[in-house]
A and B are shown apart, each in its own frame.
Chain A
Amino acid sequence: MISKDEILHVATLANLKFQDDEVDSFVSQLGKIVGMESQLSSVDTTGIEPTYNMGDTNSVFREDKGIRTQTREQLLENVPETDNNLIKVPTIVDKEDDE
């Protein structure tokens, strides 16, 4: 239904990684769930519009004026690592990628 390679591919897309033994149990669990979900193929949906959103989806306008919300300091309060009021993260470009 869904192979180990597919699971590993989806994990890469989702920015997740699994231990080897976890992958095996995920393959079997997701296989069962996707199998259940595949039953939808039996429903005839020819010409049916999909419903992706609920509620009023009209554009909403407001006056073009600034609203004071949080300060920079407040927005940085939850950041795990900061430096000089900036968010600090590890290397973005790997050395190998430079070549």
Chain B
Amino acid sequence: MDIKKETIASLHEKLVNKDVTAQDLASQAIDKINADEKKINSFITVNDKATEDAKKIDEDGIKGPLSGIPIAIKDNIVTNGIKTTAASKILYNFMPVYSATVLEKLEAAGAIDIGKTNLDEFAMGSSTETSYFGTTHNAWDFDRVPGGSSGGSAAAVATGEVVAALGTDTGGSIRQPSAFNGIFGIKPTYGRVSRWGVIAFASSLDQVGVMSKRVEDSATVLSVIAGHDDHDSTSSEKEVPDYRANLNKDMHGVKIAVPKEFYHEGTHPEVLDAVNKALDQYRAMGATVDEVSLPTLKHAVEVYYILASSEASSNLQRYDGVRYGFRAKDVKNIKELFVNSRSEGFGDEVKRRIMLGTFALSAGAYDAYFKKAAQVRTIFINEMSNVLKDYDLIMGPATTTPAFKIGEKVDDPLAMYMNDILTIPANLAGLPAASVPAGLADGMPVGLQIIGKPFAEQDVFNAAYALQEENKFYEQIPTALKGED
């Protein structure tokens, strides 16, 4: 069975009709992952109990839409009894003794955790190249990055290893790899999904979301994982809609704002062509599209790298070699244990962020950097909410370029950081945002970004669904996979 051509609903139907068992789906997924791993490297750990778990689902009978469906989980989401590393040497052997709320919800719905996907170390990066376990490769061109940090999840979906995967998004880590791999990915509103059991990077920005080839599949999964959790006081008590059942592609009267600053200088011309074509398609479907301005967008990268790094430097203090993970050898005292475990256990990019954050929080720099960035964040949030007073959605490109070559930016942190300029705004303002395939540039996929009002995930899904039904991008087979089967 070619999973690339299936949806959660089509698999569910086959399961219900007993054309296939959950055990078959799990073992096929594992065979495909094992066959693909050498060229894609999308997984850090495959769940060797997956077929056993699936057997139990078969025995209990197929129930809801996710019952018996294999789903991949980004490896910064803790999974009881399955190694969870955040792609870092410092957690290379970490075996969680509990599961994240999102995983518990998926398992309660009968989904099968097929394994843990690769990412940039601690989700810090835009290319999956900072993973301790090696880089993941783009499904369209193995010489290119899959994006990041949820690059493993994106590649696993694009290659048809799984129909859907969980990712996390702190500054674009779901949307950018989704754009680079020609799939759909959504970062929900801050507080929509519990962060309990998600390895913290920047707590005021992190959010769990879903990636899939089809919009409707992410809608199905998000309804399952969203909702209030006593373990996460920032999770919202707002009711969770059935996003899939409410999908509506009617774009008549929908008001779309396109910030002129999203047309960033240096944006690939074919990316602009694809995005402009998508905007024309929305106009043709009855939506209005107006240009607006977000003057403070030009400072978004600065604000983000100060706040995210500061929060990371605080969150990552817990890794000290004492209670779990990597512990340095031959140390004389406890201080050396901390310093050596951290210095040997963290990779360069993580150290860079910890240093940046520690600097921004240090006496003498706090007001000029950390506090200043938090103030500019307020200004930016106000600009975004003012636009959303008059408009239903904000749209633009998800990335300035299609996927770049492996190794091209890895030694230039600033160039890598600038990658995130178009995705950071939704995190700073806590808004729901998605990337949906819009076309090709240089033969590589381009994502249209759709940002909605707080908790208006349905509007984002609907607009993405409308475009998907218009361009049917999901029918395209990633270039590097042609000739398979």
Listed in ascending order, the chain A residues whose CB lies under 8 Å from chain B are: 2, 6-7, 9-11, 13-18, 26, 29-30, 32-34, 36-41, 43, 45, 48-57, 60, 62, 69-70, 74-75, 77-81, 87, 89-92, 94
Contact = CB atoms under 8 A, between A and B. Distances in A.
B271 interface: no
B339 interface: yes
Given A40-B376, A50-B371, A52-B374, A89 B337 contact: yes
B374 A89 contact: no
Given A10-B359, A15-B320, A91 B343 contact: no
B50 interface: no
Given A36-B301, A52-B374, 16 more contacts: A16-B339, A18-B343, A33-B305, A37-B306, A39-B299, A41-B372, A43-B296, A48-B378, A52-B204, A53-B234, A55-B190, A56-B237, A78-B325, A79-B323, A91-B334, A94-B332
A22 to B, nearest CB: 8
CB-CB nearest 5 A-B residue pairs: A50-B374, A55-B234, A78-B324, A45-B375, A55-B191
B355 A62 contact: no
Interface in B320-347: 320-327, 331-340, 342-343, 346
A94 B333 contact: yes
B57 interface: no
A56 B228 CA distance: 11
20 contacts: A14-B355, A15-B338, A16-B342, A30-B352, A30-B355, A32-B413, A34-B356, A39-B302, A40-B299, A51-B381, A54-B204, A60-B230, A77-B97, A79-B323, A80-B321, A80-B325, A89-B322, A90-B333, A90-B334, A91-B332
A26 B355 CA distance: 9
A70 B98 contact: yes
B234 to A, nearest CB: 4
A90 B217 CA distance: 51
B236 interface: yes
Contact of B359 (A18, A34, A52, A75): A34
A1 to B, nearest CB: 11
Contacts of A30: 352, 355-356, 359
A87 B352 contact: no
Nearest to B191: A55
- The size class of the interface chain B forms with chain A is 35 or more
B377 A50 contact: yes
B313 interface: yes
Given A30-B355, A87-B323, A51 B236 contact: no
B191 A78 contact: no
Contacts of A26: 352, 355
Contacts of A29: 352, 413
B377 to A, nearest CB: 5
B334 A89 contact: yes
B417 interface: yes
A17 B372 CA distance: 28
Interface of B is mostly: helix
Contacts of B327: 80-81
Given A51-B378, A55-B190, A13 B358 contact: yes
B303 interface: yes
Nearest to A32: B414
Interface in B209-230: 230
B386 interface: no
B283 interface: no
Nearest to A35: B414
A56 B234 contact: yes
Interface string B273-314: 000000000000000000000001001011101100000010
B413 A33 contact: yes
A50 B373 CA distance: 8
A56 B236 CA distance: 7
A69 to B, nearest CB: 7
Contact of A10 (B326, B331, B362, B369): B362
Contacts of B352: 26, 29-30, 33
B479 interface: no
A35 to B, nearest CB: 9
B94 interface: yes
A12 B301 CA distance: 27
B9 interface: no
A91 to B, nearest CB: 5
Contact of B355 (A10, A45, A51, A52): A10
Nearest to B232: A55
A74 B332 CA distance: 28
Given A17-B343, A33-B414, A87-B323, A92 B334 contact: yes
A50 B323 contact: no
B377 A16 contact: no
A54 B190 contact: yes
Interface in B78-119: 93-95, 97-98
A52 B204 CA distance: 7
A55 B301 contact: no
Q: Which of B236, B299, B359, B376 has the most chain A CB within a 10 Å cutoff? A: B359
A92 B333 contact: yes
Contacts of B331: 90
Contacts of B369: 37, 40
